[in-house]
Structure 1
Amino acid sequence: MEEVQALNLRLADVLNLNYAAALLGWDQQTYMPSGGANARAEQLATLSKLAHELFVDDDTARLIENAEAAVKDADPDSDDAALVRVIRHDFDIQTKLPTSLVTAIARETTLAHEVWAKARAENDFAGFAPTLEKIYDLMRQKAEALGYEERPYDALLDEYEPGMKTNDVETLFAGLREDLVPFVAAIFERLDHVDESLLHEQYDVDKQAEFGLAVIKQLGYDMTRGRQDKAVHPFTTGFSINDIRITTRYYPDYLPTALFGSIHETGHAMYEQGCAQKYEGTALAGGVSLGVHESQSRLWENIVGRSRGFWNHYYPALQATFPQQFGSVSVDEFYRMINAVSRSLIRVEADEVTYNLHIMLRFEMENDLLEGKLAVADAPAAWNAKMEQYMGIVPPTDAKGILQDVHWSSGLVGYFPTYSLGNFLSVQYWDQALKDVPAIPEQIEQGNFEPLLAWLRENIHQYGRKYWPQELTQRVTGEKIQTRSFVRYLKNKYTAIYDL
């Protein structure tokens, strides 16, 4: 429609400004010298200001109204109707945010990344605390500007998981906690049943990189439209459907970090690469929510990448890469190692069973910090107390505790619950894929990942942001998000591994 095309043309400049900002953000975390932080903060603040002003001005409002009138009688399932609906949603949010606040958040979070990275390296929470105070003050301002009916967290969560409320997350977590806590306790009684110490030997970083790159290419990551680099904290970013980049990090004394981190980010990247090309340069490009996004990364990392079938295929190649470590180790022993449960300190290295406990901790702390129930100065002690409550351990340092994640320095408050939502959805989608294509496990064992990727492309990836998260899940699985399937998957898998 002519009115929709006019709206798209207008917003192309906004998208390009946002992509340019994303490119500068990628460079900051991969190649920029730390001395460039102040200048980069101003550059990103300028781009954020320009994009926000362009998006929320009266001309954009008029074009949206014209497009809404044009699609009023159109099929609600049409691309045009979906595009206008998504743009209206974004516009209504952004018009509530003063440009001065958007600019301040962009500037402060750019500076905060370098402060956080230094504090983490030096185990210096006190050095990061004033910055964290500023960020949470900005997040409170943002929540108030956006508005909410019940909890300030609702306003921030909606940015990452449209339609989800804080109470919805609490309800899902309550149900999960009821099933998970006794199961975790039973496994904790048998931790010595699996020995994963071999994974902590020395592994040549160049060989790790070569092996990991071969894996993610075979999974389906299109390297003509992507690349992999190193970063302090792994992430995926994109500047077009045809330019989706991932990062990883390598530890010479722990094999799983880079390998499973690369597979995880590849899941994100393949989602973005699978978006329909007709959505390129429009508001429908990209993932519909971070929960759905995380479902893709966790599906590939855990359900596929930590499966016995996957390693029946890849283990001979891994043995050839590291013969000293794995030459005399069976695939069954290796499978148990990479699925070992532990009282882990680090979220990104946590096993499937305990991972969501890390998310519950962060979700609770974010709400308390946002609502003023917890002071930033008291946050490390609160973190440690929750780690002891959930995991039975206390971090020996803040670097392995409250400073481990990049998210707060980036202003991503409201983001963490989407990791658990993604875990739940990954199994829901996987179960449906097996109903539709029962041969997928056998195909994976043969190193053929195309049928699974094709199913994901057909049912999830191609739609981009066309459907809201719960609507998409309902269309794919016949029900909204639930924890039942995830709990069943965990119990079946880990009961066998730990002989419960």
Structure 2
Amino acid sequence: MKPEDAYAELRRFQIETAYYQSLGALASWDQRTYIPRKGHEHRARQFAALAQLLHRRRTSPRIGEWLDALEGASFLSDETAPEAVNVREWRRAYERSRRVPEELAVALAQAQSEGESAWEELRRLDDWKGFKPYLERLVALTREYAEAVGYETEAYDALLEDYEPGERAARLQEMFAVLGRDSQRLLEAVMGSPFQPPEGVLNRDYPLDAQVRVVREIVGRIGYDLEAGRIDPTTHPFELSVGPGDVRITTRYYPDYLGAALFGGIHEAGHAMYEQGLPAEHWGTPMGEAAGMGVHESQSRLWENAVGRSLGFWEHFYPLLQGSFDSLSGVSLASFHRAVNAVRPSLIRVEADELTYNLHIQVRFELELALFRGQLEVADLPEAWNAKYREYLGIEPKNYKDGVMQDVHWAAGLFGYFPTYTLGNVYAAELYRAASNALGDLEGRFARGQFAPLLNWLRENIHAHGRRYLPRRLIEQVTGREPSAKTLTAYLKEKFGNLYRI
């Protein structure tokens, strides 16, 4: 077979597989939003059947034959060309997939669906005892998976590869050691400042119907294409891409707290704008996919924090809020801006302030690492969780739902995902700095309602590349420097030093 014919056949096959995956994405969105309570058991079996179908396709001998026929093809000589990128990533995925036994792939998919469904109910009931068996099964199966796909140094590296290709646990440990230390020092200085923001501004009466309208208005105006997406309420906010023209987000609403819906919506819109900006002509191939979850989180965290908590952003949008919520009628712009940037150690990660957020991730990363190094078992997690919250944030949950059961990630078997949030913060600081150098006064643009220049810059420099580069290499390619936690620390020190006059 000619290499050109082999590539055409392989591309056709992989795009067909992507259509099956997109149907799975739609079923996943439905499970997290509107599925009837009694439909979860059947949905778990659907996911198991889909996992079996996808595993057979991903490990098909035909992929190996096509890849063999492409060895040494001249049109793949430029490693950054779309065809070369696709073949590289298809080969990597094929080699990993065929190491996983079909029965393990099916069992893991079913356990993930069952775990997530159980978590939604058991978290509400604060029932750790009921949830523990689901989590134990997920950890056991994930350990099997890590051993099956293989690794050079440790099992956790095998899990990281699914979310952040090229990343390693040892390098993350070094990053968290430095960032955690610097964050705790800055937190101590902030908490000791006499210039504290007003309390309770976000914890007032915020009618839900008005929140829905405001969130929709804001995310639409910053660049989320609402004609190619939708916003729904959910237990845990997420973004999900079904395919071109259908990228969905969710957020959660509380009648007495505005921050969850507002910043959850902006965060997920950041994810969605990345998906909407990926080249549609490459859909179904690696060139039409995000570079990694760290890069994905860089988009959501950049829009949520660097943009959404800036003074310029609220100079533009605060009139909308004051016109929508009577509870803000006596609150000045300056007071509101300080309130949305308030630093206070808290229990809930998704509602954490920008400074303490990475400490929340450090807790989860260290617990995951201990689990997969055999230093910790699932039964030990609640006590270990509480101990780390005391050490890093000086507080401790009084229940499981605000502690070890608060996130959906472990219930869905997403081990190795959490550190990508902090990688996203590191990348976001680098990208915002580079964008500011390229575009000038970004906050001034935000104040005038001009968000397209930043979005277009991200589309050109990040979104358009798909998986052309490994995540760290992509950031270096855009910024001209290797990504470093020092840039994030400098950003945090400048921002909170000004806000708290320290």
The alignment's TM-score, normalised by the length of structure 1, stands at 0.98
SS at match of 1:200: coil
Correspondent of 2:368 among 366, 369, 386: 366
- Name 1:461's counterpart in structure 2: 463
**Contact 1:191–1:341 (Cα < 8 Å) also in 2:** no
Is the Cα contact below 8 Å between 2:86 and 2:287 reproduced in 1?
Answer: yes
Q: Which amino acid aligns with 1:217?
A: G
* Residue from 444, 447, 468 that aligns with 2:446: 444
**Residue 288 (structure 1) aligns with:** 291
Specify the alignment match of 1:327 in structure 2.
329
Residue in 1 that maps onto 2:413: 411
Picking from 7, 21, 32, the partner of 1:18 is 21
Residues in 2 aligned to 1:499 and 1:185: alpha-carbon distance in whole angstroms = 13
Matched-pair contact (CA < 8 Å) for 2:183–2:359: no
Q: Which runs of 5+ in 2 are unaligned?
A: none
Among 75, 82, 90, the alignment partner of 2:93 is: 90
Q: What displacement does 1:92 show?
A: 1.4
Q: What aligned pairs does 1:69-468 form with structure 2 within 5 A after superposition? A: 69-71=72-74, 74-190=77-193, 193-323=196-326, 325-468=327-470
Contact 1:7–1:67 (Cα < 8 Å) also in 2: no
Partner Cα separation in structure 2 for residue 269 and residue 93 of structure 1: 28
8 Å Cα contact 2:251-2:264 kept in structure 1: yes
* Cross-structure match for 1:33: 36
2:40 & 2:133 partners in 1: Cα distance?
Answer: 17
Q: Give the structure-2-normalised TM-score.
A: 0.97
- The number of equivalent residue pairs is 499
Deviation at 1:418, TM superposition (A): 0.1
User: Is the contact made by 2:371 and 2:378 (CA closer than 8 Å) also made in structure 1?
Assistant: yes
1:45 maps to what in 2? Answer: 48
Q: Secondary structure at 2:236's aligned position in 1?
A: coil
More displaced stretch, 68-77 vs 20-29: 68-77
**Does the 8 Å contact 1:21/1:48 carry over to 2?**
no
Cα offsets for 1:34-70 (capped at 9, x unmatched)? 2111110111111111011011111111112223443
Distance 1:146 1:425, change over 3 A: same
Q: In the TM superposition, what whole-angstrom CA distance separates every residue of 1:285-307 from its partner, at most 9, and x where no partner exists?
A: 22110000000000000000000
Shift of 1:191: 7.8
> What is the CA distance between 1:195 and its match in structure 2?
2.3
Please identify runs of 4+ aligned residues in structure 1 that moved more than 4 A. Answer: none
Distance 2:161 2:482 in 1: 17
* Counterpart Cα distance in 1 of 2:115 and 2:304: 30
Whether the 8 Å CA contact 2:116–2:412 is kept in 1: the answer is yes
Identity %: 42
| Cα-Cα RMSD | 1.3
Q: Following TM superposition, by how much is the alpha carbon of 1:283 offset from its aligned partner in structure 2, in angstroms?
A: 2.9
Change (3 A) 1:193 1:73: closer
Residues 73 and 25 of structure 1, relative CA distance in 2, 3 Å threshold: closer
Q: Structure 1 unaligned segments of length 5 or more: list them.
A: none
CA distance in 2, matches of 1:180, 1:397: 26
SS in structure 2 at match of 1:401: coil
Counterparts of 2:59 and 2:93 in 1: how far apart (Å)? 10
CA drift of 1:189 comes to 2.4
Checking the alignment, whether the CA contact within 8 Å between 1:96 and 1:145 is kept in structure 2 is yes
Cα distance in 2 for residues equivalent to 1:416 and 1:187: 26
Q: CA deviation at 1:480?
A: 2.3
Distance in 2 between residues matched to 1:191 and 1:75, nearest whole Å: 58
